[in-house]
Structure 1
Amino acid sequence: MTTGTAGSTGSTRPTEVRGRRIGRAWGAAAVCALALAGCSARAVADGSGGTSAGTGAAVGAKPAGTTTLNPSPKPTPSATSTPLKSLRGARVNIAEGQTVGVGMPISVTFDHVIPAAERADVERQLKVTAEAEGSWSWVRDRNLLDGQRVDFRPRACWKPGTAVTVRAGAGITRHFTVGRSLVATVDVRTHTMTVEKAGSTRRVPITAGAPGMDTWNGTMVVSDKSAKVFMDSRTVGYGDSYAGYYSYAVHLTTSGTYLHQNPKANTYAGHQNVTHGCVGLATDGTAKRFYDEVIPGNVVTVVGSKDTVAAGNGYGDWNVSWEQWRAGSALS
């Protein structure tokens, strides 16, 4: 398993100490659903704890044939005309104009803790406009305190081509687009990765975490990638096992899980799991090919392993059932 947090380009030094198994996700692992037939109604997440469908009508209007999830009284104009002090220091994880993969949640983090009593008011100032059913939910981030992160996740993965607008209070607006679908499923038992990309499928030999250093089970979302990342086993409790740069690193968790090029995969991919928890790909162009095609928001699901990655360890939001996810909203 690797260390540090990769940026989108360049190389990275280790910046965190990784606790190996600090907790499980709230629910059983759930593969990010791609059956998107039920996500065709235009929706606006409007502080109801879910979404309200609309066709240009004012937020809160309920056109015929649509459903409002978890309806709640709308805040008075005086409550929304001035941004709450608690929205100061807010950051959104997606850049203006960015293209993301179908699994990317919208994550809003704060530079201070939002008290439980204020979280409903904060949610009322967070709005997502998109052709999707979704909900906000407060997530305990691995590197933050409770009350510093709230995520929006659609019920099923975003439909490719979806245009999304995010507004956080009066000061933050983001527009982004969902790109073509890429979902990779890593089976640690068969030592293979199945890559489903825009209607095509291929199988790739991999090597995953050796026994006792098992790769996280469950669904992870690519947060970023880097052509080269420095990895030091001392920062993750594995002594002097390794220290050096690894190429074509796709970042999956804040605790240090990457899918990257590993010379050991030249021998063991497809046959045996020998890594310290990362997923290794061979140096024959296999790793580079995956690196070149993957973008932030693409989905990597690991099956056949042990502990399920927690929702707040990177973007592990898909490991929470829809019912539990909605219950995590302060307005549910």
Structure 2
Amino acid sequence: MADGRTVGVGMPISLTFDRPVPSAERAAVERSLTVTTAPQVTGAWSWIKDRNLLDGQRLDYRPRTPWAPGTAITLRTGSAAARHFTVGRSLVATVDVTAHTMTVVKDGVTRRVPITAGAPGMDTWNGTMVVSDKQRRVFMDSRTVGYGDAYQGYYNYAVHLTTSGTYLHENPRADSYAGRSNVTHGCIGLATDGTARRFFDEVIPGDIVRVVNSKDTVAPGNGYSDWNLPWDQWLAGSALR
């Protein structure tokens, strides 16, 4: 993450190592890292099993609860230059796949928009995800996630949620099905009437998208989905515990 960046309230500090860190060395690695915040928060490191990395290659830091807006964060890693981040305004979107709605709460102001989620058998991940990035236009291929009814095409206003390929994006099918039924390959679809563009324009990396009333919960290492671990399990992932 670039120094000086502004992030959402759900963004963890995530470090990826060139090689797996042996178990015997992990405590020393954690001791070499210093996180300071203003205001002060309770936080901890935890070794994450990332779906695309070997065990011991990813180490994340997060607070017990999401960051407060305006929090200033500094990471120091031994002799390397310090990195500074700032938490911006709060935005949390809750997607209810059975009600076919997304409730967006931005700095205490709430609005609801219709959505369409994963069709039966291609269900959207349940649980808390964090925006990693966004792109104006993305090419998607359903074969990459093992679906036989292969679909390939470009989608606009794509907000990236998981490394396995979950996006929240504009979908022309949402013009007919949003608010009524779930018809996607697992992504969350928004209509082309400006709804998708509005969300795309306001969202930043680190914002939280929480999916409820779906099936399997997204794994912590699938994107920045650290918040799906209860605090005691998070602490258990530290080599210092």
Q: Which category of TM-score, normalised to the shorter sequence, fits these structures?
A: over 0.9
Quote the residue 1:34 is aligned against.
none
Quote the residue 2:8 is aligned against.
101
1:172: how far off? 4.2
Quote the residue 2:25 is aligned against.
118
Larger Rg: 1
1:234: how far off? 2.0
SS in 2 for 1:122: helix
Structure 2: 5+ residue stretches without partners: none
SS in 1 for 2:122: coil
Cα 1:254–1:172, aligned 2, differ >3 Å: closer, same or farther? farther
Quote the residue 1:194 is aligned against.
103
Once the two structures are superposed, residues 204-253 of structure 1 have per-residue CA deviations (whole angstroms, 9 ceiling, x without a partner) of: 10000000000000000000000000001222222353111100000000
1:253-292 equivalences in 2 (<5 Å) = 253-292=162-201
SS in 1 for 2:215: coil
Identity of aligned residues (%): 74
Measure the CA separation in 2 of the matches of 1:304 and 1:129. Answer: 36
Measure the CA separation in 1 of the matches of 2:189 and 2:81. Answer: 38
Once the two structures are superposed, residues 87-127 of structure 1 have per-residue CA deviations (whole angstroms, 9 ceiling, x without a partner) of: xxxxxxx2100000000000011010000000000000111
**Counterpart residue type for residue 252 of structure 1:** L
Measure the CA separation in 1 of the matches of 2:141 and 2:119. Answer: 17
Measure the CA separation in 1 of the matches of 2:227 and 2:149. Answer: 34
Correspondence for 1:185 among 94, 112, 119: 94
1:173: how far off? 1.9
1:178: how far off? 0.2
Measure the CA separation in 2 of the matches of 1:113 and 1:105. Answer: 20
**Counterpart residue type for residue 143 of structure 1:** N
Measure the CA separation in 2 of the matches of 1:234 and 1:256. Answer: 11
Once the two structures are superposed, residues 127-177 of structure 1 have per-residue CA deviations (whole angstroms, 9 ceiling, x without a partner) of: 100121100000011100000001001001100001000012212421010
Measure the CA separation in 1 of the matches of 2:121 and 2:147. Answer: 11
Quote the residue 1:70 is aligned against.
none
Once the two structures are superposed, residues 172-215 of structure 1 have per-residue CA deviations (whole angstroms, 9 ceiling, x without a partner) of: 42101000000000000100000000110000100000000000
Measure the CA separation in 1 of the matches of 2:20 and 2:231. Answer: 25
Once the two structures are superposed, residues 72-97 of structure 1 have per-residue CA deviations (whole angstroms, 9 ceiling, x without a partner) of: xxxxxxxxxxxxxxxxxxxxxx2100
More strand by share: 2
Alignment coverage as a number of residue pairs: 239
Correspondence for 2:67 among 133, 158, 177: 158
**Counterpart residue type for residue 162 of structure 2:** T
Q: CA RMSD in A?
A: 0.8
**Counterpart residue type for residue 112 of structure 2:** R
1:294-313 equivalences in 2 (<5 Å) = 294-313=203-222
1:243 aligns with 2:152: yes
Q: Which runs of 4+ in 1 moved over 4 A?
A: none
